[in-house]
Amino acid sequence: MSKDKSKILILGAKGMLGSDLKKIFNGANVTTWDRDEIDITMREALKKKINLLRPDIIINAAGYTNVDAAEDNQDLANQVNGYALNYLSEICYNLNATLVHYSTDYVFNGQNKSGYFESTEPSPINAYSRSKALGEKNILKSALDKYYIIRSAWLFGPSVAVPCKNFVNTILDLAQKRSLLKVVNDQYGSPSYALDLAQKTKEILDDNLPFGIYHFTNRGKTTWYLFAKQIVKQGLKQGLIKKPVAKIIPCTSEEYPLPAERPHYTVLINTKLSKGRTWKKALRDYINSEF
């Protein structure tokens, strides 16, 4: 069946990635559900509702994404990010459907400064990342062989939810409200524009790429501090924020403690897909188009 005739179900449709997936996968054969329509942790209800729809492709952009809150809500994080993938894998297997699921750079411990390949074994260090690694494991150990696990990192983009919470929006807001911002400068990664990830997902499906694990981020690596500096620079250039703006200074992770430990170096190495545009270009386009 050609992808333009496939019946596609998008889960988590109101989130950052889900919002852009809706833009990219638009058409009569696309159904979009969020938490209001379905709870992916309720196995029997999930099975019943999806079996009635009978999609050819399920794109799972639903997830528990609050890294720090997961430390106190490990059971919920595991249910949403981990055990629900047992249910979705089983449903897809029985329907002969394809499952697309998104994972994260945080499944790695961040100790390898050479970066992480698609085949690298996960080594999570906090509750959130353990729940995401559990989700991957549950797909891999299931009977389903028609799946794509796409790992990405440092995601930014729009959201149907109000207010939209992501690092870019937060920095644009705080840069105007505060005189000083401390941002960690010892954690390295690759920012990813949700729209680019959604477009790459469509390319993977349209091109019938082999099933398996993929890595996709925008090109280039940075730190949260340097990312914040670029956000303010673009915000000033586009007139979203006006001088004076907060002074942004670097700090260490130890100087900015959070409930969940963060990995220090989680650059994902992409060996299977065409490379994305640079994160700076993606950031510029996001700011130009969304504000």
Q: Which amino acid is at 97?
A: A
Q: Which residues contact 284 (CB under 8 A, 6 or more apart)?
A: 234
According to DSSP, residue 132 is labeled: H
Q: Which residues contact 70 (CB under 8 A, 6 or more apart)?
A: 64, 76, 77, 126, 127, 128, 131, 260
Give all strands (DSSP E) within 21-114, no chain letters.
30-33, 57-60, 98-104
How far separated are the first and last CA of the chain, in Å rounded?
39
User: In 3D, which of 17, 14, 13, 12 has the Cα closest to residue 157?
Assistant: 17
Token couple for 286: 């996001």
Does residue 128 carry a catalytic annotation?
A: yes
| Cα distance between residue 222 and residue 233, in whole Å | 15
Of residues 64, 87, 128, 286, which has the active-site annotation?
128
Cα dihedral sign, 57-151-43-24:
negative
Catalytic residues: 128
